[in-house]
Chains A and B, each alone.
Chain A
Amino acid sequence: MSARHPDTALFVTCLVDLYRPQVGFASLQLLERAGMTAEAPPAQTCCGQPAFNGGDRAGAQAIAKQVIASFAEYAQVVVPSGSCAGMMRRHYPELLAHDPAWAARARDFAAKVVELSECLVQAGINLHMAWPGKVCFHHSCAVLREMEVQGQPLKLLAQVRGLEVTEPVDREACCGFGGVFSVKYPDIAIRLADDKLDDVKASGAELLVAGDLGCLLHLAGRASRRGDPLRVFHLAEVLADQLDQPGIGEGA
């Protein structure tokens, strides 16, 4: 490995840190393979979305400042989650727009934030892997609308030899996660998960993949309760060829 300073930082996200560390390691591996020197700065915690979406603007601002400060020295910040990336790229500058000490820093920081699939396509990664099977890719709303990342995940999946890639018929429909929403309004969240899972089932795919762990925990949790024989993975795990490992919610 090169001894030069890593110029790329991974924002692991709180859900990956807690629930699915392998997504973080897969992301680092993919970044290295795409020619970047990447590391995960240890001062990171949460991007502030729960506070921002929960109405605690001051809390969200404090967290935003902490994130901006702890990633100051990196040239780019890669995030394996559309919603956290959207928070950092779109909402940090809004949140700090009226703070003279931070407005410019927030804008500069936002310009460095990139979602994982976006970053890998930009870097022109070559995957050299094969996996025979059929995958349904769920476009999380934040990836689709906040980050405006549309085709990148599909481009990457298309590199996997033998893999058939489909999308839900209603590809823009929300899966019902929505952060705290999924806990505050579980009945509605579950109905939306059911609609999404029915759509995935109709596609005939045996794998469900997305770029946001929040959506995936919610959908995998519901699929497992329904008894759907669906295997669920984060995009980074698929691209890092880790499909032989247990999927989200599967036993060890």
Chain B
Amino acid sequence: MGKGSPRDFKRQAGVALKDPALRIALGRARSGFVEKRTQARRQLPEFDRLCAAATRVRDHSIDHLDTLLVRFEQEVLAAGGQVHWAATAAEARQIISGICSDAGARVVAKGKSMVGEEIALNPALEADGLTVVETDLGEYIVQLAKERPSHIIAPAVHKTREQVAALFARRHEGPRRDLSGIPELVDEARRVLRRAFLSADVGITGANLLIADTGTSVLVTNEGNGDLCATLPDTHVVIAGIDKVVANATDAATVLRVLARSATGQPITAYTSFFSGPKRAEDLDGPKHFHVVLLDNGRADIRQGRYRDMLRCIRCGACLNHCPVYTAVGGHAYGAVYPGPMGAVLTPLQWGLRESRDLPNACTLNGRCADVCPVHIPLPALLRQLREDIHDAKVEGRMQRWLLGRWVRLALQPDRYRRVTAQVAGLLRRLAGARGRVSRLLPIPGWGRGRDMPAPAGKTFFQQYRTPSKSSGDRS
């Protein structure tokens, strides 16, 4: 599981719905994340105003992306670091591969990075003969299970504690031991990971924000693993999308105040780290070499088009946690790096409409994602726009296109519409008999699988209705 493709969304979702352990794991996560965010919001009366401020910050960033990025680069260079520009995922892989080779690296310690997933970094480094160890607990679990993250901030959210215990027992060396509680699992992971930190030659982390006027990469974690990746190895590589830049520390603080609250319901994460370059003479610790890899991979194009709002995204995951589809099928069903509503927008833009046409459609447009988005991304509107693009490119199902076309034509001819609907109502009524519902033989096969179709009354409203003003003769 976890290696699927967006093309197989339907099948993957079907498999996920039949997985009882997944249902338990997602159920726990859903209630946890949703309740904690609700509480965090309640405890901060100005939360909604902060979100509006964060939205303005992110808009400002996207509007001035080019100048902010150039400033960021200047500051990193001035601090003794290096900046690499990667137009594509392949370029980013080559750059990082080169840095590792220059460092003579054998072991790489990685902090959680969705951009790392986006460019499929681990397989590339492993192909170079490197040992790559994920150090975020959730990401480590996923790596051990040879899966992909199923959530952008909780990579192993699809696994129950019992499944993780079984995985550790199977994959870690050592005698039989008690792995029944979360503390025992964390301790065991910590022991394994500590060895990796100490032997790593290169540490790679993502970044939640890039601060332009100080050249600082900001990373939030709850485990402190990011700090270890950044300070223990001789070389630290930050990989981030170009959209992550903000103007200054004040703007960064505004975003950080809504980020953790939206993500986990915390006022702030346990660790918020600021990396501004290699170790200076007076520093107690830090890497000898500091690199930032800035990834475009379609972002500059998105910025030019009508999906620009999507670049405000701060990857908090609130839209996933509040999405009924995501919480029913989990992240792997999407078959893409980014799942849930934000992923259903990003994936078609990055991978193409035909490949991912299911994702924007597998949404009830209930709007809860937009309600909880801390940077006010109009996700349902963007998903609807993608449906328009799919329709305009004629890559949707042919049956769907034909049926929709017929419906629109019918709706535009009220008289014909009246006759056809009257026939359909009568037909369904006869199929139902006295039962009040139709269970099979439906013109819409998707409905009948697990639901009855309540039968129409028999005559449509307009077959029965007489306009009062018509009968009184004062309106024609």
Contacts and interface: CB of A to CB of B under 8 A. Distances in A.
Interface of A: 1, 3, 5-6, 12, 14, 16-22, 24-25, 39-46, 48, 50-57, 59, 62-63, 66, 70, 141-142, 145-146, 172-174, 176-193, 195, 217-218, 220-222, 224-225, 246, 248-252
5 contacts: A14-B421, A40-B465, A42-B418, A192-B325, A221-B437
Contacts of B411: 14, 45-46, 48, 51, 63, 66
Contacts of B410: 45
Q: DSSP class of A's interface residues: helix, strand, loop or mixed? A: helix
A221 B453 contact: yes
B457 A178 contact: no
A178 B456 contact: no
Nearest to B18: A187
Contacts of B456: 18-20
Contact of B462 (A17, A173, A185): A17
Given A5-B475, A51-B407, A188-B17, A224 B437 contact: yes
Given A40-B461, A55-B384, A56-B408, A19 B454 contact: yes
Interface string B447-466: 10111111111011110110
A57 to B, nearest CB: 5
B129 interface: no
Contacts of A40: 461-462, 465, 467
Contacts of A6: 468-469
B35 to A, nearest CB: 10
Contacts of A182: 446-447
A181 B436 contact: no
A50 B407 contact: yes
Given A141-B366, A172-B368, A192 B437 contact: no
A18 B439 CA distance: 17
Interface size class of B (residues with CB under 8 A): 35 or more
B467 A54 contact: no
Contact of B435 (A43, A45, A221, A251): A251
Contacts of A178: 363-366
Contacts of B17: 187-188, 191
B364 A186 contact: no
Given A174-B368, A218-B451, A248-B454, A51 B13 contact: no
B362 A221 contact: no
Contacts, number: 219
B450 A222 contact: yes
A107 B178 CA distance: 66
A115 B457 CA distance: 24
A48 B408 CA distance: 8
B450 A54 contact: no
Contact of B464 (A21, A53, A217, A218): A21
Contact of A21 (B386, B405, B452, B460): B460
A54 B391 contact: yes
A19 B457 contact: yes
A189 B10 CA distance: 12
Nearest to A248: B454
Given A55-B384, A55-B388, A221-B454, A63 B412 contact: yes
Contact of A52 (B329, B384, B405, B468): B384
B389 A55 contact: yes
Contacts of A173: 324
Contacts of A59: 404-405, 408
Contact of B408 (A18, A63, A190, A191): A63
Contacts of A181: 361-365
A211 to B, nearest CB: 15
A179 B407 CA distance: 14
B262 to A, nearest CB: 16
